[in-house]
Amino acid sequence: MHSFMKSLKASTAGMAAQGERLRLVSENVANAHTPGYRRKLVSFTEALDSDSGANMVKVSGVRLDGKPLKRVYDPSHPLKDKTGHVEMSNVDVLVEIADAREAQRSFEANMNMFDQARRMYSGVIELIKRP
């Protein structure tokens, strides 16, 4: 497969991986105040596309953060334990915002690479069309 197409595939895979990362960050923020919720983390790995031979990134898995849940004293909460404490989520919204920004920047970098490869490919096609 042509190297332009490999570039397009690799950039597309990067955008998909960062999109998945952003989805998990959104879930984490949405559940930041849900009792018992554990933060989800995404892992990436390198993958070789068998059709094109392009090195790409893919999501290798999603795991739960092993950090302890925050214990809050709330004797009126229906999920309280014998001591009146409730285990809340282990999500730190500031960390999630930082992860979202990093995912956005990585997505934009892949999008720019995709656009650059597309423009180069279009330039080659225009040269071929000339009489």
Q: What is the average pLDDT across 54-70?
A: 92
Q: Which two tokens stand for residue 50?
A: 């068998």
Neighbouring C-alpha atoms within 13 Å toward the C-beta of 111: 9
Query: 1 falls in which pLDDT band (50, 70, 90)?
Result: very low
**8 A C-beta contact, residue 89 and residue 73:** no
Reported pTM: 0.82
For residue 85, being part of any structural domain is answered with no
User: Domain span at residue 32?
Assistant: 3-66+93-129
For residue 121, being part of any structural domain is answered with yes
Q: What is the average pLDDT across 76-102?
A: 95
Give the residue with greater pLDDT, 74 vs 54.
74
For residue 16, being part of any structural domain is answered with yes
**Structural domain count of the chain:** 1
For residue 78, being part of any structural domain is answered with no
DSSP string, 79-108: T--TTSEEE-----HHHHHHHHHHHHHHHH
**8 A C-beta contact, residue 29 and residue 96:** yes
